Structure 1
């Protein structure tokens, strides 16, 4: 079984190898990464960190990931996971340790849960819906971000290619 970071490396290859159906930013430097983690009050798990370092934010075959990025129009404001996480915490009462990484397309937020760290420093991937407080009632999508994201994107690319 591959590690979460190995899965992230495979996802990087998948995105780069399918540039006709993928988009990404230019990556995220160490200073921006540190500012993002400070703003969120939590470190990113290694597999998510690796993808943010590489792409900042990315999408492939219709699967969009928030990542961390800035734009000229918004200046120094940290967008993506940082903005969406802080927004969900303040507006919808999302637990203060969860980190938003994508939208589930049905009104929920795909989040990382730093309260359950595995031996590799990875966090489980859950779906948080406004109003849910008990983590036992949250759908678990994966044990780590890298494996979850790679599997999701691999299926999306296969469906895209088969339908085209």
Structure 2
């Protein structure tokens, strides 16, 4: 979790740039995992546990912050993932963690695991050719570090 720990350290050094929902309980995280049919990787689980979901600078990172997954909104990853599974056929092995603003979604991909057996981060473009085979980041920690360093530049 080296890149993840570096990202968290940078977030806390620049906490004034972080707008977040607050801590998420283990029981709520387990409910989210059950609703999605996945087990979060350790780095994402830790992020959600600490922040729930939120913005670092202008980058909004989706997470878990309330139990009502049916009546929520962005940046609720569970709500959006379940909605997109139903509305656009988002594959069940994807969990949305970020949206680029052009419709492209960054997802934890449980079909493409890294060397330690955790999901990588890939892109999904609704109404386009799915590009979930291209690994953008080897882990959520790699993704988060890129987001944080990009916002600090």
Judge same fold: TM > 0.5, yes or no. yes
Structure 1 unpaired stretches of 5+: 71-75, 159-164
TM-score (norm: length of structure 1): 0.82
Q: Pick one of 132, 140, 145 that aligns with 2:135.
A: 140
- TM-score where L is the length of structure 2: 0.87
* 8 A contact 2:122–2:131 mirrored in 1: no
| 1:92-131 equivalent positions in 2, closer than 5 A | 92-131=88-127
C-alpha displacement of 1:13: 2.0
In 2, Cα distance between equivalents of 1:143 and 1:134: 15
Indicate the residue corresponding to 2:68 in structure 1: 77
Question: How many equivalent residue pairs?
Answer: 147
Cα distance in 2 for residues equivalent to 1:135 and 1:154: 24
Aligned to 1:153: 148
Cα distance in 2, alignment partners of residues 151 and 39 from structure 1: 28
Deviation at 1:23, TM superposition (A): 1.0
Equivalent position of 1:161 in the other structure: none
Local SS of the residue matching 1:101: strand
Contact 2:52 2:63 in 1 (8 A): yes
1:122 Cα deviation after fit? 2.1
2:2 pairs with one of 3, 6, 12:
6
Q: Give the gaps of 5 or more residues in structure 2.
A: none
Q: Contact between 2:109 and 2:132, CA under 8 Å: does it hold in 1?
A: no
Aligned to 1:35: 31
The one of 43, 54, 59 equivalent to 1:58 is: 54
Deviation at 1:45, TM superposition (A): 1.2
